[in-house]
Amino acid sequence: MNKLVISCMDRRLNDLIEEQYSDCFIIRNAGANVYPVAKEIKDLIKNKDIREIILLAHTDCGAMNKVFGIIKRGKSADPDLEESLISQYRKLDFDSIDELEKDNLNLQVDKLKSEFPETKIDGRLIRIEDIKVPKDDKIHELILANPSKPGYSGLLDQLSLNHFSAYILQSDTNNIMPDLKLAVADLGVKFIHLISIEKENPRDRKVDQQRLNLIFGKDGVKISIYSYPLKA
């Protein structure tokens, strides 16, 4: 029997997830968003004997700030981001980001309960202010890997990255383009590390690298491939 954690790619959650959920499989994207990863969840339930899903949302969420700015302040939205993230919040009644963050937790938990009624579902809103985060150096990088167990510290050390400087996006590459666009445009990401995890062939990442170079190369984003045995 295994557990699955769905959480945000926010860099400030890296140590908490590894310390408190080390035995769980992890999916991470912008805002702990269930909608684009529903098929992945279904596959993991079947293939990894997942009996419990834990949804970890958090305060001071960049994705929720993006949602709030678009819906309440009339900012423009990328069409892909509108479909995968923004649209689900337009029917909600909220007046502040604090309210939206709580609504997001409830919305995602309700989706999980509806989609996977035979699986135990739990939810938690993490207070970012309770996490001791070093001063932001503004040099942000992003790690992209398929769902796995969170052996982040060893990976970050081998990449010579501060544990709080790298966003970690864990999902199938077919589901994460809106999240990557948000990371580059809104979070200042300039380096993307494609990770070939346990049982994966690094050559399979070459296609992903070429595709991402075509999309983000013009923005000065560098794409690298790295092998590390995160447990799949």
- pLDDT, tens digit (0-9, with 9 covering 90-100), for 89-98: 999 999 999 9
Section 106-120 average pLDDT? 98
Residue 139 pLDDT exceeds 90: no
Whether the predicted pLDDT of 126 surpasses 80: yes
CA angle (34, 106, 174) in 5-degree steps: 10
Q: Sorting pLDDT into bands at 50, 70 and 90, what band is 182? A: very high
Strand partners, 120: 52
Span 194-215, mean pLDDT? 90
Q: What average pLDDT is seen over the chain?
A: 95
With a pLDDT cut of 90, the percent of the chain lying above it is 88
What whole-number distance in Å separates Cα of residue 216 and Cα of residue 48? 34
Average pLDDT over residues 113-131: 97
How confident is the model at residue 137, as a pLDDT? 67
Nearest to 6 by CA among 41, 32, 35: 32
Instruction: Give me the pLDDT at residue 133, please.
Output: 83
For the segment 14-53, what is each residue's pLDDT rounded down to a tens digit? 999 999 999 999 999 999 999 999 999 999 999 999 999 9
Picking from 212, 71, 61, the residue whose alpha carbon sits closest to that of residue 126 is 61
b (16+ CB within 10 A) / e for 191-225: bbbbbbbeebeeeebeebeeebeeebeeeebebeb
pLDDT in tens, 61-97: 999 999 999 999 999 989 999 999 999 999 999 999 9
> Across residues 115-140, what is the average pLDDT?
90
Binding-site residue positions:
8, 58, 61
Backbone phi, then psi, for 137, in 5-degree steps? -90, 0
Indicate the annotated binding residues for Zn(2+): 8, 58, 61
